[in-house]
């Protein structure tokens, strides 16, 4: 049971967040909907108290925002990329100044620990600095033409309006990945955050609006629309939005992909994960235990990169599991208010998430699995919201349907293996393909895991857990995870259209492939 501690709650006035917040903005102007606007009130998973009310945008308000974004694109695409980066640089300064206050909003709204919320804001800051550098590195290739007196090269142009749909668990970071690169590339953006985290979106957008006011940015370059799945559906079907970047469940991603494909638009999907860690007999045990604990318990199991399946060699299964249970026992003594800096594990986002965890544990028990640790819903002082749970460790079989799908909760399924080939097959034998890890001191095992016959995930780590990716590498996964890539590397190309250019500076007109066409 958590001790009574004094914690610093969000100060809504820092971001202009008071009751009945407006749910749409075109960067400079706040948009007011019809008089009969619908307001929604969420409750904090921290203490169950109501949060400030937020207006959900109507269909008409949504179209007003998109039209403004279209108009702004006509100007923004002509601004040199280094000049576009100026607003991003100023935005990073605002984030640095208000980092702690913004982290409190995130923590109180969705239950993420304050330390993790600080890390999320830092991720947006890092992304801003990455984008400023990227603004001078939007390179194209020059190729040798087979025709004399010809130059052949590629260049990149912005797409137009980019739609960004984000999930609750990283309410600002994933938007940051997308909005920075999209805007640096010359696109305008329309953001629909999760209806479970509108205040975090409004708070960070308030800081962006300050940066916009201090720089020469046309109104409508950056846009925010608060709403439920109906707004997301409109975005997916909107022919005025050439690219939809969507983060969330596989079910949501399928719906978005189908709607966008019908109009031959583009999607950038970052969907569910069912991530595994393989621990071999040669592994550094202490390193593996620490990595497994953070990957399984961080964000209360509500990361797309959360460790879901732990694959242990038979020779170390019992001893490693006994050590892991002791680690869980220590960590679970620090379940509580996420705004308390000593808390390691906060609540789930809402009671629906708690019920999903209970249903998954009941299903695994029905298959014959055994709960080895935890799984209880916590009650009593400090747990009044009903969203606090004790993370669970469960013995299971990989082929069970409950193990094959992602449950967004702190449930760790423990599996056995005998050969490394068997372990890799277990890891890959799920529909998702986001992140994966192996802990080994054996070079052959590490290289096999990273080979073409090894991990089939978009992220493969050696002696590093599956969560906590850096922005320098492209983030995303394969199979039902969607195939999209965000953040670093050359992910910027997803936000642009490639154009192949041929220039004939000769006085002849030779044809490619040696074709002759004589008149």
Residues classed as catalytic: 270, 304
Return all residues near 200 (Cβ < 8 A) that are at least 6 apart. Answer: 102, 105, 106, 109, 110, 171, 172, 193
Question: Length of the chain in residues, anyone?
Answer: 519
The 3-state DSSP class for residue 490 equals: coil
DSSP code string of 217-237 = --TTSEEEE---HHHHHHHHH
The answer to whether 127 and 176 have CB atoms below 8 angstroms apart is yes
CA–CA separation, 410 and 122 (whole Å): 24
Residue 371 neighbours by CB distance under 10 Å: 15
Q: Smallest Cα–Cα separation from 124: which of 170, 202, 86, 176?
A: 176
The 3-state DSSP class for residue 266 equals: strand
Distance (Å) of CA 297 to CA 22, 221, 263, 341, 460? 35, 38, 40, 16, 20
CA–CA separation, 153 and 411 (whole Å): 51
CA–CA separation, 147 and 94 (whole Å): 52
Q: Calculate the dihedral angle through the C-alpha atoms of 99, 56, 113, 466, rounding to the nearest 10 degrees.
A: -100
DSSP code, position 50: B
CA–CA separation, 308 and 311 (whole Å): 10
Residue 402 is encoded by which pair of tokens? 């409950």
CA–CA separation, 76 and 188 (whole Å): 8
CA–CA separation, 305 and 49 (whole Å): 29
DSSP code string of 121-137 = HHHHHHHHHHHHHHTT-
Q: Smallest Cα–Cα separation from 218: which of 15, 94, 32, 74?
A: 74
User: What's the half-sphere exposure (Cβ side, CA atoms, 13 Å) at 433?
Assistant: 18
Q: Quickly tell me which residue has 């208010």 as its tokens.
A: 337
The 3-state DSSP class for residue 94 equals: helix
CA–CA separation, 92 and 87 (whole Å): 9
CA–CA separation, 72 and 90 (whole Å): 20
Residue 360 neighbours by CB distance under 10 Å: 22
The 3-state DSSP class for residue 373 equals: strand
CA–CA separation, 295 and 312 (whole Å): 16
């Amino acid at each position: 049971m958590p001790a009574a501690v004094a914690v610093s709650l969000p100060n809504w006035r820092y971001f202009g967040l008071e009751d009945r917040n407006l749910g749409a903005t075109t960067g400079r102007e706040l948009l007011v909907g019809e008089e009969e606007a619908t307001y929604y009130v969420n409750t904090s998973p921290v203490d169950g108290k109501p949060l400030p009310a937020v207006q959900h945008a109507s269909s008409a308000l949504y179209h007003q925002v998109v039209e403004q974004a279209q108009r702004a694109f006509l100007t923004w695409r002509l601004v040199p990329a280094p000049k576009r980066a100026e607003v991003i640089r100023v935005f990073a300064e605002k984030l640095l100044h208000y980092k702690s206050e913004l982290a409190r909003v995130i923590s109180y709204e969705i239950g993420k620990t304050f330390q993790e919320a600080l890390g999320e804001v830092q991720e947006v800051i890092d992304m801003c600095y990455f984008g400023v550098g990227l603004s001078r590195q939007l390179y194209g290739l020059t190729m040798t033409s087979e025709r004399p007196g010809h130059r052949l090269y590629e260049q990149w142009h912005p797409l137009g309006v980019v739609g960004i749909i984000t999930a609750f668990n990283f309410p600002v970071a994933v938007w940051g990945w997308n909005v920075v690169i999209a805007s640096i590339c010359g696109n305008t953006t329309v953001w629909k955050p999760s209806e479970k985290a509108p205040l975090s979106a409004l708070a960070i957008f308030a800081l962006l609006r300050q940066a916009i006011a201090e720089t020469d940015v046309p109104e409508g370059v950056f846009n925010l629309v608060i709403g439920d799945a109906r707004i997301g559906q409109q975005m997916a079907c909107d022919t005025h939005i050439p690219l939809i970047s969507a983060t969330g469940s596989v079910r949501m991603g399928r719906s978005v992909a189908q709607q966008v494909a019908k109009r031959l638009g583009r999607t950038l999907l970052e969907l569910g994960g069912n991530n595994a860690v393989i621990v071999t007999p040669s592994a550094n045990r202490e390193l593996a235990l620490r990595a497994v604990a953070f990957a399984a318990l961080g964000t209360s199991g509500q990361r797309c990169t959360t460790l879901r399946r732990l694959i242990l060699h038979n020779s170390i299964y019992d001893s490693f599991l006994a050590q892991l249970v002791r680690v869980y026992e220590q960590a679970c003594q620090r379940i509580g208010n996420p705004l308390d800096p000593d808390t390691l594990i906060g609540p789930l986002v809402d009671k629906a998430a708690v019920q999903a965890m209970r249903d998954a544990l009941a299903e695994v028990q029905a298959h014959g699995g055994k709960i080895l640790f935890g799984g209880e819903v916590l009650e009593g002082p400090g747990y009044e919201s009903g969203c606090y749970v004790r993370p669970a460790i469960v013995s299971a079989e990989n082929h069970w349907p409950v193990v094959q799908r992602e449950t967004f909760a702190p449930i760790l399924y423990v599996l056995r293996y005998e050969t490394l080939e068997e372990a890799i097959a277990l890891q890959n034998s799920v529909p998702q393909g986001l992140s994966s890890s192996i802990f080994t001191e054996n070079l052959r095992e590490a290289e096999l895991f990273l080979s073409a016959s090894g991990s089939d995930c978009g992220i493969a780590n050696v002696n590093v857990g599956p969560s906590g990716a850096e922005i320098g590498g492209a983030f995303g996964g394969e199979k039902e995870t969607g195939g999209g890539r965000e953040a670093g590397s050359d992910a910027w190309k997803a936000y642009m259209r490639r154009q192949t250019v041929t220039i004939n500076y000769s006085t002849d007109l030779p044809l490619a492939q040696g074709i002759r066409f004589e008149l």
